[in-house]
Amino acid sequence: MPIVLKARNDDHTGDLIKKFKKIIAATNIIQVVKDRKYYQKPSELRTVRMNEIRRSHKRKRAIKKMKNAPIPRPPRRMVKPRSFGTE
């Protein structure tokens, strides 16, 4: 699918280039091109995918533990009792 970016009267060339880069980054085209640059065996692709899945599960577990963890509270301060009238 071609990416079409139309310029308005007040758009500068630099602004158009920035918009184009944002669109390219959002569509993930650069990563796909880099991945397809060299041939990878199907077993290598499978191991990469499985590692990504494991990593994402590990992150989810860590976040879940953080959400369910009790809120740490500062230790209570010990206050010395004052003796009134003996100064």
Residue 41 has pLDDT above 90, yes or no: yes
Residue 86 has pLDDT above 60, yes or no: no
Residue 43 has pLDDT above 90, yes or no: yes
Q: Which two tokens stand for residue 60?
A: 């989810």
Amino acid (1-letter code) at residue 76: R
Give pLDDT, residue 4: 84
| pTM confidence score | 0.45
Give pLDDT, residue 82: 62
The separation between CA 37 and the C-alpha centre of its own chain, rounded to angstroms, equals 25
Q: Which two tokens stand for residue 63?
A: 């976040």
